[in-house]
A and B are shown apart, each in its own frame.
Chain A
Amino acid sequence: MSLTEQQYAPGEHPDLPAPLGEAGLIAWFKKRLFSSIGNTILTIITLYFLYDVLSTVIFWTLTGATFVGETKADCTLGGACWLVIGDRFHQFMYGLYPKTEYWRPNLTFVLMILAIIPVLFDKIPHRGKFLLFSTLFPFIAFFLLSGGLGMETVDSSDWGGLLLTLVLGVTGIVASFPIGIVLALGRRSNMPIVRTLCVCFIEFVRGVPLITILFMASNMLPLFLPEGVNFDKLLRALIGVALFSSAYMAEVIRGGLQAIPKGQFEGADAMGLSYWQSMRLIILPQALRIVIPGIVNTFIGLYKDTTLVSIIGLFDLIGIGQVAVADVKWRGLAPETYVFIALLFFISCFSMSRYSLWLENKLHTGHKR
Chain B
Amino acid sequence: MSNANTNTSKKTDEVAIQLNGVHKWYGQFHVLKDINLTVQRGERIVICGPSGSGKSTLIRCINRLEEHQQGDIIVDNIELTGNLKHIDAIRREVGMCFQHFNLFPHLTVLENCTLAPIWVRKMPKKEAEEIAMHYLERVKIPDQALKFPGQLSGGQQQRVAIARSLCMNPRIMLFDEPTSALDPEMIAEVLDTMIELAHTGMTMICVTHEMGFARKVADRVIFMDGGEIIEENVPEEFFNNPQSDRTQKFLSQILAH
Contact = CB atoms under 8 A, between A and B. Distances in A.
Interface of A: 263-264, 266-274, 277, 281-282, 285-286, 289, 363, 366-369
A6 to B, nearest CB: 34
A267 B65 contact: no
Contacts of B98: 263, 266-267, 270
Interface of B: 63-65, 88, 91-92, 94-96, 98, 100-106, 115-116, 119-120, 147-148, 150-151, 164-165, 168
Looking at B91, B104, B147, which has the most chain A CB atoms within 10 Å of its CB? B104
Nearest to B174: A270
B91 A272 contact: yes
B36 to A, nearest CB: 24
Q: Which of B65, B92, B101 has the most CB of A within 10 A?
A: B65
A264 B88 CA distance: 17
Contact of A266 (B95, B102, B116): B102
Contacts of A274: 88
A235 B95 CA distance: 51
A273 B105 contact: no
Contacts of A282: 104, 115
A367 B147 CA distance: 9
B91 A366 contact: no
A306 B70 CA distance: 56
Nearest to B121: A272
Contact of A273 (B103, B120, B150): B120
A273 B119 CA distance: 7
Nearest to A286: B106
25 contacts: A263-B98, A263-B101, A263-B102, A264-B104, A266-B98, A267-B98, A267-B102, A269-B64, A270-B63, A270-B65, A270-B91, A270-B95, A270-B102, A271-B91, A271-B165, A273-B120, A277-B119, A289-B106, A363-B106, A366-B150, A366-B151, A367-B105, A368-B150, A368-B151, A369-B150
Nearest 8 pairs of A and B residues by beta carbon = A267-B102, A272-B91, A263-B102, A271-B116, A270-B96, A368-B150, A272-B92, A272-B120
A358 to B, nearest CB: 18
Instruction: Identify the interface centre among B63, B119, B120, B150: most chain A CB within 10 Å of its CB.
Output: B119
Interface centre among A263, A270, A363, A369 (most CB of B within 10 A): A270
A271 B115 contact: yes
Given A272-B88, A277-B120, A286-B104, 11 more contacts: A263-B102, A264-B104, A266-B98, A270-B94, A271-B120, A271-B164, A277-B119, A286-B106, A366-B148, A367-B105, A369-B150
